Amino acid sequence: MSTDTTLQSFQADVIDASMQVPVLVDFWAPWCGPCKSLGPMLEKLEQAYGGRFKLVKIDTDAEQQLAQHFRIKSIPTVYAFVGGQPVDQFQGALPEGKLREFIDRLMPNPSDVELEQAGAALDRGDEAAATEHAKKAIALDPSNDSARLLYAQLLLGAGEPAAAQGQLDALSDAAKADPQVGALMQQVADAVDASKPPVPHELLDRVAAHPTDLQARLDLAEYWIEYKDWEPALEQLLEIVLRDRAFQEDIGRRRMVQVFELAAAQPALVSDWRRRLGGALNVR
């Protein structure tokens, strides 16, 4: 429901309120014809947006000081306030479609909202919640470099440098050009090198000596999975799929699907191997 404000209540009704949600201030008068069509439409949209913005109305005849302060020359005039400041305005009675466009420009990006919540979670020491919010921010807007950077740092801190590297690889060129980002990328690259598991010579020798030994391939895949080295694990599992779908009740395919979930922080890798698996299944 819209709010009628006065000079005395303007601070609370508009400035303070706009720190929480965008506020539209409708300057109108009872004798104004276009105001009679615009006002109800704004009230309808306030209801339709479900509290995502607030509508405040100012009768310019009753509140002449406010009208003079905002230099209102004609009515209706609508000011938009965000974060305590006027950020946009229009004059005249716009059609509903144009009103929606105006309002939508004021709405916070949902991805940025998730990123803010991730930061708040970090401030209170809840890294698990921060990670979930960062993931949601990226899902909502894959071009959100700030969300990817935060997620990469969280992954690095969780001991998943390869996954962190995957997020950094997906950054825009502009983000990668930042010296601080470059330093983080080097730190992650060093961590990836340091985290590489010992070479499992015995398992590799078993597979080399007996390429049809699917148990050896499965053992080798499980070794890589334990170290979160997804690509060599997927290589062995796909080979099992190609050689014998019946082996251990299609363990190759089933385990690949599980690895896709485990490697969700590396979407490019998962997408590539999903495509390869799909191709292998279509061959059968």
The count of C-alpha atoms lying within 13 angstroms of the C-alpha of 2, restricted to the half-sphere facing its C-beta, is: 20
Angle between the 179-195 and 161-169 helix axes, to the nearest 10 degrees? Answer: 140
DSSP state of 11: I
φ/ψ of 247, rounded to 5, equals -60, 120
What SS3 class is residue 81?
strand
Query: Partners of 283 in the beta sheet?
Result: none
Distances in Å between the Cα of 235 and the Cα atoms of 169, 238, 256, 263, 275 are 22, 5, 9, 14, 13
Q: Is 200 a catalytic residue?
A: no
Distances in Å between the Cα of 180 and the Cα atoms of 30, 93, 145, 175 are 57, 48, 13, 9
Q: Of the listed 14, 23, 24, 35, which one is catalytic?
A: 35
C-alpha to C-alpha distance for 171 and 199, rounded to whole angstroms: 31
Q: Is 35 a catalytic residue?
A: yes
C-alpha to C-alpha distance for 39 and 33, rounded to whole angstroms: 10
* Number of Cβ atoms within 10 Å of the Cβ of 31: 9
C-alpha to C-alpha distance for 7 and 69, rounded to whole angstroms: 10
C-alpha to C-alpha distance for 40 and 68, rounded to whole angstroms: 24
Q: Of the listed 23, 24, 25, 32, which one is catalytic?
A: 32
| Residues annotated as catalytic (active site), given as ranges | 32, 35
